[in-house]
């Protein structure tokens, strides 16, 4: 990288000294001849001596981070491809024979399983999850369904309790549990749920969020892996989205989530039997949870916290991609923003709290420590968010005002294109939406980048927990007027200042590039500016009419 010349720094020092003399002298008008031409010359020297080198430094740092992200994605892609080509499927690597019936033992041949469903004002989906849990195929005397209801709305609490009573009267072993506060949010509810005496009889816990609906054979396909492989702590299933086609925003979310499961989770499971627990649609060995220290509410990603601690304790995790559990994507922009803040801020804050624990861990290899620190946290959950926003939405646009600054083509076009294409492999049916996905993800990178900083520096919103609002079957079963009343908000709440500011900034850069430069960056800047403005005005996601 080109360095600032000594001559330029000398000029800058002289300029600062002249300004000081001007301010401190009583005869400032005669001390230094400050004319419009002189001011322009001094500003130009400042530009050459400070601003341009800073822009070049920013570009160099962003190029390094882009290369890190590319290498990380290539590595995960190669491992995932290896698993597919050489058929390294879980049922070929691990023993998973069905649990055999025993005439003498009867149903006791099956381990005792607890199904946990944490809830908080889940009026639209509570029936779906409770019904799916109660329909799981497993000996009735070897399964307990535990509904952990933290609802603050008395009406919803009564509805959930009535649903549990209904299934209890049908002969299901279902427990309805509440507590007097919401301390620790979901982690607090799960921790309290583990304290009940009947949990001591259980060996495994199947965890389901309120909008998740497992197939009846879910336990039959997951529990055998845990029974026959005593070193496995977690079996994670894949999420399948029932509302992926609801709107353009859910289609683009599906692309990101499919990549996460098909590449990130599968590569982690294949390479070192470790990945981040997704918080639901998974089955845990209770002994592993207790050995890792149980649930902790120190961050908003209690699921990842438990996974990292259990992984450092030497336990293995297994991802099974062909077991799919139905779930719901956030279909309103407000809900999605809150979710992404939690998913970005939490891991950064957890990394801050656990980095030395990872370094000092004694039960895992150096390779696994490196994987957790570099691949799992830094490359995937910190650098990727930062480089996406800073490079493509700030630094490259700003560089158009400095003709002497050149960005290599591989950094501007080849690397981001390769990363984009690798992300698209997870959802082939949506490949035609890849341009919209890039624009959408770049806008969301603004909030993810901000959330990462909040997490790393443990700032004000670090422990903010807003439950992702679900629609369930509301749009199908209720009138649009009733739905509109539930999701009514003031007109001013549609405006998102950060998106609007960045959108206007990109528009200015686009116009300048079009009129004064010949590098054609405006072809990217202009649509990205439009994307920021559209999302800044809230015109994305499910739009619920209010008058028809």
For residue 234, CA distances in Å to 93, 286, 392 come to 15, 10, 38
Compute the distance between CA of residue 507 and CA of residue 504 in angstroms, rounded to an integer: 5
In total, the chain counts a number of residues equal to 548
218: nearest Cα among 322, 106, 307, 109: 322
Please report the sign of the dihedral spanned by the C-alpha atoms of residue 261, residue 266, residue 268, residue 273.
positive
What are the φ/ψ torsions at residue 113 (nearest 5 degrees)? -125, 135
> Using a CB cutoff of 8 Å and minimum separation of 24, what contacts does 308-312 make?
308/276, 308/350, 308/354, 308/358, 308/372, 309/354, 309/357, 310/233, 310/234, 311/274, 311/364, 311/368, 311/372, 312/357, 312/358, 312/361, 312/363, 312/364, 312/372
Q: Which residues contact 408 (CB under 8 A, 6 or more apart)?
A: 63
> For this structure, is 473 an active site residue?
no
- Of the residues 150, 211, 258, 297, only one is catalytic, namely 150
| Other C-beta atoms lying within 10 Å of the C-beta of residue 200 | 10
- What are the tokens at 176? 């309805």
Compute the distance between CA of residue 171 and CA of residue 57 in angstroms, rounded to an integer: 68
Compute the distance between CA of residue 133 and CA of residue 6 in angstroms, rounded to an integer: 72
Q: Report CA dihedral (311, 316, 321, 325) to the nearest 10 degrees.
A: -70
- Of the residues 149, 303, 305, 513, only one is catalytic, namely 303
- Secondary structure class of 514 (helix, strand, coil): helix
Compute the distance between CA of residue 413 and CA of residue 48 in angstroms, rounded to an integer: 27
Strand (E) or helix (H) holding 154: helix 154-169
Task: Give helix 434-457 / helix 248-259 axis angle, nearest 10°.
Answer: 70
Q: What are the beta bridge partners of residue 118?
A: 148
> For this structure, is 297 an active site residue?
no
* Catalytic machinery residues: 150, 303
């Amino acid at each position: 990288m080109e360095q600032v010349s000594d001559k330029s720094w000398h000029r800058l020092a002289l300029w600062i000294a002249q300004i000081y003399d001007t301010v401190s002298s009583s005869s400032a008008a005669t001390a230094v001849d400050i004319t419009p031409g002189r001011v322009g010359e001094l500003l130009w020297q400042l530009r050459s001596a400070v601003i341009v080198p800073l822009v070049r430094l920013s570009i160099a740092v962003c190029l390094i981070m882009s290369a890190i992200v590319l290498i990380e994605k290539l590595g995960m892609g190669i491992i995932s491809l290896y698993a597919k080509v050489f058929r390294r499927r879980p049922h070929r690597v691990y023993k998973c024979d069905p649990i055999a019936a025993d005439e003498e033992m009867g149903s006791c041949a099956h381990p005792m399983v607890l199904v946990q469903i944490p809830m908080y004002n889940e009026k639209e989906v509570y029936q779906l999850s409770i019904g799916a849990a109660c329909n799981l195929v497993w000996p009735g005397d070897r399964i307990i369904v535990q509904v952990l209801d933290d609802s603050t709305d008395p009406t919803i609490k009564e509805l959930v309790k009535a649903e549990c009573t209904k299934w209890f009267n049908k002969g299901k072993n279902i427990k309805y549990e509440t507590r007097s506060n919401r301390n620790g949010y979901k982690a607090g509810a799960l921790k309290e749920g583990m304290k009940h005496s009947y949990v001591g009889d259980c060996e495994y816990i199947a965890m389901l969020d309120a909008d998740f609906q497992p197939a009846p054979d879910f336990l039959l396909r997951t529990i055998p892996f845990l029974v026959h492989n005593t070193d496995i702590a977690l079996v994670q299933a894949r999420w399948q989205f029932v509302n992926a086609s609801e709107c353009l925003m859910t289609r683009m979310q599906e692309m990101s989530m499919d990549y996460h499961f098909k590449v990130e989770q599968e590569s982690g499971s294949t390479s070192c039997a470790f990945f981040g627990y997704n918080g639901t649609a998974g089955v845990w060995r209770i002994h592993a949870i207790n050995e890792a220290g149980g649930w902790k509410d120190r961050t908003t990603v209690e699921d990842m916290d438990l996974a990292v601690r259990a992984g450092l304790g030497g336990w293995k995790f297994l991802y099974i991609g062909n077991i799919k559990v139905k779930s719901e994507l956030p279909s309103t922009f407000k809900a999605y923003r809150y979710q992404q803040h939690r998913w970005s801020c939490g891991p950064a804050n957890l990394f801050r709290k656990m980095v030395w624990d990872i370094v000092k861990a004694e039960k895992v290899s150096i390779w696994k420590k490196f994987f957790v620190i570099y691949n799992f946290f830094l490359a995937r959950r910190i650098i990727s968010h930062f480089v996406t926003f800073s490079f493509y939405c700030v630094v490259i646009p700003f560089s158009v005002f400095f003709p002497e600054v050149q960005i290599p083509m591989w950094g501007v076009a080849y690397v981001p294109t390769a990363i984009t294409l690798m992300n698209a492999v997870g959802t082939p049916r949506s490949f035609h939406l890849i341009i919209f996905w890039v624009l959408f993800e770049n806008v969301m990178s603004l909030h993810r980048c901000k959330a990462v900083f909040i997490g790393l520096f443990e700032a004000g919103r670090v422990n903010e927990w807003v439950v992702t609002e679900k629609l369930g079957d509301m749009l199908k079963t209720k009138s649009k007027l009733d739905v509109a009343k539930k999701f009514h908000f003031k007109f001013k709440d549609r405006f998102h200042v950060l998106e609007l500011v960045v959108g206007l900034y990109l528009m200015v850069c686009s116009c300048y590039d079009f009129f004064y430069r010949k590098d054609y960056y405006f072809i990217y800047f202009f649509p990205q500016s439009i994307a920021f403005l559209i999302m800044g005005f809230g015109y994305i996601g499910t739009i619920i009419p209010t008058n028809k």
